[in-house]
Amino acid sequence: MTIDRDKALGRHTVGTLDSKVALVSGSGRGIGREIALKLAREGARVVVNDLDEDVAIETARDIEALGGTVVAVVGSVTDPDFADRFVGTAVEAFGGIDIIVNNAGYTWDTVIQRMTDEQWDAILDVHLKAPFRILRAAQPVISAAVKSARTAGVPVPCRKVVNISSVAGLGGNAGQVNYAAAKAGVTGLTKTLAKEWGRYNVTVNTVAFGLITTRLTESPADGEGSIDIAGRDIRVGVSRQLLDAMATQIPLGRAGTPVEAAGAVYLLCTPESDYISGQTLVCGGGYTL
């Protein structure tokens, strides 16, 4: 039996996304990182991003170790100039855009009577306003590329947008009125853009995640966990007791992994999904609302 050493090491040979240019926001850690790695393994040239420079660079180096091509854009997706920098980097480095994955985000939970305007605005900004800005910045690039292809008489390739949502945006979740509202908004954004961008041969879909094991859901050993977002110390993590209770509601009986979550996004980036648009794919182990 002959062993393909490149495949054994996970190195890129020939993939379904060869020559594609993919932008993945929030790809320094967790699900976003696995999305970036998956797309790179399939041949895409990737623009990675994270708020933290160290993890963004680490993801970029791991993609390069696979034989992939990558550039990193460090910064918050909520910065007013971020969308133009993100899109501009893709154009400057790789000449265009084929795939956009709006993944960046975090949670900042409490019940409505305790939620401040700052909490509400922060979560709406990162989950809904930031994707809107990125897609708005990408429109002239995509439109110009389509016009050029049609003028030249060549086929217009199918481009892909995958917006990340959550089952909280479909059915609500106690203590997450800001997050649920933002993710519900992502559904509206997706369905509307699918109608607007169909003429460009762009498919626009949403992946709504159920319980996925990341730093936002893992139960810390000491029972407490937090992340720093723009100088804010935000508590994250779910107790082991609650995680176990949630798992009982999932037909597969467990939380998903970031690799599995990335696989759902990848499905909507492949040529096999070229006639699927305006849809929400639930990646939740069979969980239903």
Q: Which residue has the tokens 């139960």?
A: 219
Cβ atoms < 10 Å from Cβ of 124:
17
pLDDT band for position 203 (cuts 50, 70, 90): very high
pLDDT for the residue 241: 67
Q: What is the mean pLDDT of residues 5-30?
A: 79
pLDDT higher than 50, residue 12 = no
pLDDT digits 0-9 by tens, 43-72: 999 999 999 999 999 999 999 999 999 999
110, 136, 197 from 140: Cα distances, Å? 39, 8, 12
pLDDT higher than 80, residue 254 = yes
Dmax (CA) of the chain:
65
- Alpha-carbon Rg for the chain, nearest whole angstrom, is 19
pLDDT for the residue 267: 98
pLDDT for the residue 116: 97
pLDDT digits 0-9 by tens, 141-154: 999 999 999 999 99
pLDDT for the residue 63: 98
Query: What kind and span of H or E run contains 24?
Result: strand 21-24
For residue 141, which amino acid is it?
V
Domain definitions of the chain by residue range: 18-210+257-283
pLDDT band for position 216 (cuts 50, 70, 90): low
Minimal CA–CA distance to 231: which of 98, 110, 76?
76
pLDDT band for position 75 (cuts 50, 70, 90): very high
pLDDT digits 0-9 by tens, 103-135: 999 999 999 999 999 999 999 999 999 999 999
pLDDT band for position 170 (cuts 50, 70, 90): very high
Minimal CA–CA distance to 274: which of 184, 192, 155?
155
Close Cβ partners of 26 (under 8 Å, ≥ 6 residues apart):
32, 49, 50, 51, 77, 103, 104, 105
pLDDT for the residue 237: 56
pLDDT higher than 90, residue 1 = no
pLDDT for the residue 132: 98
The class (CATH top level) of 18-210+257-283 is: alpha beta
Q: Which residues are catalytic?
A: 179
pLDDT for the residue 83: 98
pLDDT higher than 90, residue 246 = no
3-state secondary structure 216-231: CCCCCCCCCCEEEECC
Strand partners, 74: 50
| Mean confidence (pLDDT) of the chain | 91
| Cα dihedral 264→269→272→273 (10° resolution) | 80
CA 234, CA 179: separation in Å to the nearest integer? Answer: 14
Minimal CA–CA distance to 52: which of 220, 212, 228?
228
Structure token digits, residue 60: 């970029």
Structure token digits, residue 96: 């265009």
Best-predicted range by mean pLDDT (1-5, 9-13, 241-245): 241-245
pLDDT for the residue 2: 38
pLDDT band for position 90 (cuts 50, 70, 90): very high
For residue 34, which amino acid is it?
E
pLDDT for the residue 8: 47
Q: What is the mean pLDDT of residues 197-219?
A: 90
Strand partners, 45: 21
Q: Are the beta carbons of 273 and 260 closer than 8 angstroms?
A: no
pLDDT higher than 60, residue 221 = no
Q: Are the beta carbons of 141 and 91 closer than 8 angstroms?
A: yes
Q: What is the DSSP string of 71-130?
A: EEEES-TTSTTHHHHHHHHHHHHHSS-SEEEE-------B-GGG--HHHHHHHHIIIIIH
